[in-house]
A = this chain, B = another copy of it.
Amino acid sequence: MVVVMRSGADETDIDKVVKAISEVGGDAFVSRGKNQTIIGLVGDLTQFAEMPLHAFPGVEDVIRVSKPYKLVSMETHPRPSTVWVGDSPIGRETVTLIAGPCAVETEEQTIDACKMAKSAGATILRGGAYKPRTSPYAFQGLGEAGLDILHEVARDLQLPFVTEVVTPADVDTVAAKADMLQVGARNMQNFQLLKEVGMAGKPVLLKRGLTATIDEWIMAAEYIAHTGNLQIVLCERGIRTYEPMTRNTLDVSAVPVAQSLTHLPVIVDPSHSGGKRELVMALIKAGIAVGADGIIVDVHPRPEVALCDGPQALIKDDMLALRETVARFAAASDRQVASAGQQRASGAWGRSATA
């Protein structure tokens, strides 16, 4: 950490900072410039971060130069993790396809969508039973009934599934049936939810908030990790920018950046960022090419009657292209498409690893 003193700061001001740091057991190195003095802090950064150094007299700025996360950091765990969802891995060496309906609307639609997903090579199913919606008048999901439909369909197709949980009170219900819990973009800093989801012991899919920095996103993962659960997968799903022509701006750079900072797998959701079906396939390619460890995508048998986000869903006719696209770009990246029932490497995170 670096403390930058104002140009008018005097020795007393500098001494106060040095003294405060040494009181908590740290070292402070003073670099005196002609116009400005800077103080390098060495020691327990978590402790320094809690000190109100900004409010000390003569202090202009406090710059953090090391990362605030620990458990999910690449520095403390240099080998990339593989997270297992049922028998399906998500990790650096494979490209995992997760697919299914945006929202569970009916049993029939869910069966059709999940069969489509499986036909395209998905090894994990997705589907929303609890939907966070901007309007109280919009379809809010089927809730527990939707969860039951998903559970049954996934069992029949012999694939695990991931579904969103939107409030702490629902965590137990959802964790009882789902193989992976999703924390949505709007809830990325719903800290109580992060804690309870972490404690449920299931793998967690953590979407990046609509305007979360990469640091904040990883800190949200640290909240989950702090409960002892390291089965976390990060998901870039587009950020809010000034550009109106796309729903969100898919920040593909975030994938390699996050992969360099944490050992967690990082996947991409091209459906919610593109917002239009025409864009989704192009963004799937970009996501795999940039190095994402997987793709999560909406499919729908009849998007023109979808209750939620129809325009962005891939349709039946896209499934063959989807399978082929994932295969081609995974191959171009020297990676395998993940398959269900893959051999688990020793030491991997995941359900059986924690058992």
A311/B31 contact (C-beta < 8 A), A65-B36, A167-B168, A189-B134 known:
no
A216 within 8 A of B: yes
Q: How many residues of A contact B (CB 8 A)?
A: 104
Cβ–Cβ contact A132 & B7, under 8 A: no
Quick one: which of A46-83 are within 8 Å of B by CB?
A: 46, 49-50, 52, 54-57, 61, 63, 65-66, 68, 75
Residue ID in chain B nearest A249 by CB atoms: B251
A200 within 8 A of B: no
Interface bits A272-292 vs B (CB < 8 Å: 1, else 0): 011000110011011111110
Docked CA distance A35–B245 (Å)? 20
Which of B255, B282, B313 meets A255, CB within 8 Å?
Answer: B282
A241/B244 contact (C-beta < 8 A), A63-B63, A190-B186 known:
no
Stretch from A146-154, A172-180, A298-306 at the B interface: A298-306
- Shortest A142–chain B CB gap in Å is 15
A223 within 8 A of B: yes
Quick one: which of A320-347 are within 8 Å of B by CB?
A: 328-329, 331-333
A304/B213 contact (C-beta < 8 A), A33-B42, A65-B63, A219-B135 known:
no
Most chain-B CB neighbours within 10 Å: which of A222, A282, A289, A333?
Answer: A289
Cβ–Cβ contact A189 & B2, under 8 A: no
Quick one: which of A184-232 are within 8 Å of B by CB?
A: 186-187, 189-193, 210-211, 213-216, 219, 222-223, 226
- Shortest A221–chain B CB gap in Å is 10
Cβ–Cβ contact A29 & B40, under 8 A: yes
Residue ID in chain B nearest A36 by CB atoms: B66
A260 within 8 A of B: yes
Interface bits A20-49 vs B (CB < 8 Å: 1, else 0): 000000010111111110101111001001
Docked CA distance A285–B290 (Å)? 6
Residue ID in chain B nearest A288 by CB atoms: B289
Which of B216, B244, B328 meets A332, CB within 8 Å?
Answer: B328
- Shortest A278–chain B CB gap in Å is 7
Residue ID in chain B nearest A56 by CB atoms: B304
Cβ–Cβ contact A244 & B243, under 8 A: no
- Shortest A244–chain B CB gap in Å is 6
Contacting residues, chain B, for A328 (C-beta < 8 A):
332
Docked CA distance A65–B2 (Å)? 10
A85 within 8 A of B: no
6 of the cross-chain contacts (CB-CB < 8 Å) are A35-B66, A38-B40, A167-B190, A244-B244, A253-B283, A331-B332
